[in-house]
Amino acid sequence: MSRDQQKQANRRAMTDAATRLFTTEGYAGTTIEAVAAASGMSVQGVYFAYQNKANLLQAAVEAGTPERRAHNAVTDPDELLLRLAEDATAELDATGALALAIGSAPPSDTAAVAVHARLEADRSRRAGALVQQLRALRPLAPGVTARRVTDVVFALLSPQLHAVLVRDRGWASRRYAAWAADAVRRALWG
């Protein structure tokens, strides 16, 4: 194994361990020391790679985020909406618990607050992009604004609502995606 491959494998071991710990122990309950022990790395190695716990969590989110599928050939807005909702649900399945963990960080942890703000801004941007993609295929219902529907998408495809329905209430991910797509469809087109 080359040096670069070893470095990538070590980083992956750290993000995998961090994912397990953040999702089971939460942000406050996860320490760099615990991540080092769980990954077989040294504490200094984890700090060298990520500098702090917030950066480690962001790296875990990035490592766990599924690759987004291209939907350029889909011209039916209802089909596109369902596919986009399925993609968002797959991402929430993979990283939603991490987003909840970073959101629970204390306000005094400025690095965590900054990571949380970046993740939420990215989620907001993707909600707006989803609305624009759909709006290009079918006009919004009269009186409906892109901003209002973006806010609806942002709320419906949130880690919080996903956790309530999928984790706490036992919904299958497929059911959640279909429900979210239907709710967004109603917000877009009535």
- Residue-wise pLDDT tens digits, 25-38: 999 999 999 999 99
| The pLDDT value given to residue 1 | 83
Q: Distance between alpha carbon 98 and the CA centroid of its chain, in Å? A: 8
Say which range, 66-70, 93-97, 146-150, 157-161, has the weakest mean pLDDT.
66-70
Specify whether 50 is located in the same domain as 77. no
Structural domain that includes position 151: 68-189
- Per the structure block, which two tokens stand in for 142? 């009269």
The 3-class secondary structure across the chain, one letter per residue, is: CCHHHHHHHHHHHHHHHHHHHHHHHHHHHCCHHHHHHHHCCCHHHHHHHHCCHHHHHHHHHHHHCCCCCCCCCCCCHHHHHHHHHHHHHHHHHHHHHHHHHHHCCCCCCHHHHHHHHHHHHHHHHHHHHHHHHHHHHCCCCCCCCHHHHHHHHHHHCCHHHHHHHHHHCCCCHHHHHHHHHHHHHHHHHC
Residue with more model confidence, 69 or 43: 43
| Residues 77 and 49 reside in one and the same domain | no
Do residue 83 and residue 167 come from a single domain?
Answer: yes
Mean pLDDT of 48-64: 96
Say if residue 92 is in the same domain as residue 116: yes
The pLDDT assigned to 56 comes to 97
Is it the case that residue 54 has pLDDT exceeding 90? yes
Tell me how many domains the chain contains.
Answer: 2
Residue 180 reports pLDDT greater than 90: yes
Band (pLDDT 50/70/90 cuts) for residue 144 is: very high
Tell me what pLDDT residue 12 has.
Answer: 96
Q: Where does a domain end: 63, 93, 111?
A: 63
The CATH number covering residue 14 comes to: 1.10.10.60
**pTM value?**
0.92
Reply yes or no on whether the pLDDT at 72 is more than 90: no
pLDDT in tens, 73-123: 899 999 999 999 999 999 999 999 999 999 999 999 999 999 999 999 999
Query: How confident is the model at residue 68, as a pLDDT?
Result: 87
